[in-house]
Amino acid sequence: MRWLSRWWGEFTGFALKGNVLELAVAVVLGGAFQGVVDGLVTHIIMPTLSYVTPGADSYASWKIGRVEVGGFLASVVNFALIALAMFLVIRKVVGSIRKAVDPPDPSGPTTKECPYCLSKIPDPATRCAYCTADLPAPPASPKGRSPSRGSGRKSKP
């Protein structure tokens, strides 16, 4: 009986994690959305297309030889609409929300280029780590404090 309570504790710990619950909600909403799109295709789009095509009563009677293509075309249109909607939701809506929540860092670059060897070095550096040249003093920081000047050793010319 002890193993059952331990197993139940592990199961509830797993099942009640945020990711599992979010996935379950996404599956349920996806199924409901699929039903809406299927109804749109079955009752509105495909009957409208059957008015445009001559000689067919409904899309279900569309045939090429003995192959019935009307139902297949309805499934293709259904898939295309769901794929388009998912693209719009994932790429556009979630992307714009992510941009609004996480704005880009306005502080600018955190590295600079050594004027002698052209290697990338941190902004507050006063000596190049690659060619050991003394660098010009960086501008004063916005808070009025100047960054440290290093060890004070002179580099060899």
- Pairing label, strands 111-113, 63-64: unpaired
Whether residues 89 and 47 fall in one domain: yes
How many Å apart are CA 98 and CA 101, to the nearest integer? Answer: 5
- Bridge partners of 113, per DSSP, are 120
Whether residues 97 and 63 fall in one domain: yes
How many Å apart are CA 83 and CA 85, to the nearest integer? Answer: 5
Residues 104-135 have pLDDT tens digits of 666 666 888 888 888 888 888 888 888 888 88
- The domain in which residue 130 lies consists of 107-150
Whether 156 is in a domain gets the answer: no
In terms of DSSP H, where are the helices of 16-154? 18-40, 46-52, 70-87, 94-101
Residues 65-110 have pLDDT tens digits of 888 888 888 889 988 998 888 888 778 877 787 777 776 666 666 8
Evaluate if pTM is beyond 0.95.
Answer: no
Output phi, psi for 90, to 5 deg. Answer: -70, -50
Whether 69 is in a domain gets the answer: yes
Query: Number of structural domains, the chain?
Result: 2
Whether 71 is in a domain gets the answer: yes
What local confidence, expressed as pLDDT, does residue 59 receive? 79
Residues 21-62 have pLDDT tens digits of 778 888 888 889 889 999 998 888 888 888 877 776 777 788
